[in-house]
Amino acid sequence: MKNRALPWKASESPAQNARRVLPGLLRDYFACGRKLSLDSGARDMHGFRLKTKHLRYTLEAFVSIYGPGLTRKIDSLRPIQNALGELNDCEVLLAGLHKKLPHAVQARIRKQAAGKHKEFLRYWREEFDRADEDKKWEQYLTRSARTKPAK
């Protein structure tokens, strides 16, 4: 889940670059998300959280080219980022303080982490990655970029 620089071409307009590059970024994102399960470890979940942040921030840079439709799509990433962020907070807390925390507190934090893990997976499977959602994103990113950015 390594972040790489976008293959931007100076000879193309921002809209052309966006139509060419962003769909591939989304395909990679969906492929990574589909690999996650209840058995996925904290490192994989944190890596996907970072991938979500990278995708969201990248897409936010293109709102003026796509318009408000992209903002709605970006908003659908927030529940993923929030659940994974809270899961990561639990994991960091357990890793850093587990020997100092009473067993009951550790158990409560583990339960909270498991709940956030399940929350992410439920949202991913039932809402974000519904049937053909990846194709809708790709179609939108391929066709909706405007040649002249909105002001």
* Residue 53 included in any domain: yes
Residue 25 banded pLDDT, cuts 50, 70, 90: very high
Residue 121 banded pLDDT, cuts 50, 70, 90: very high
Q: Which pair of structure tokens corresponds to residue 126? A: 């039932």
* Residue 150 included in any domain: no
Question: How many residues are recorded in the chain?
Answer: 151
Number of domains observed in the structure of the chain? 1
Per residue in 81-108, pLDDT (tens digit) is: 999 999 999 999 998 887 788 999 999 9
- How confident is the model at residue 61, as a pLDDT? 92
Q: Which pair of structure tokens corresponds to residue 15? A: 């809209």
* Residue 79 included in any domain: yes
* Residue 8 included in any domain: no
Residue 6 banded pLDDT, cuts 50, 70, 90: low
Residue 5 banded pLDDT, cuts 50, 70, 90: low
* Residue 149 included in any domain: no
* Residue 134 included in any domain: yes
For the chain, the first-to-last Cα distance in angstroms comes to 34
- Report how far residue 48's alpha carbon sits from residue 77's, in angstroms, rounded to the nearest whole number: 12
Query: For residues 91 and 8, which has the higher predicted lDDT (pLDDT)?
Result: 91
* Residue 102 included in any domain: yes
- How confident is the model at residue 97, as a pLDDT? 84
Q: Is 49 in contact with 88 (CB distance < 8 Å)?
A: yes
- How confident is the model at residue 1, as a pLDDT? 46
Per the structure, the complete domain to which residue 43 belongs is given by 14-143
Average pLDDT value over all residues in the chain? 91
* Residue 20 included in any domain: yes
Q: Is 60 in contact with 20 (CB distance < 8 Å)?
A: no
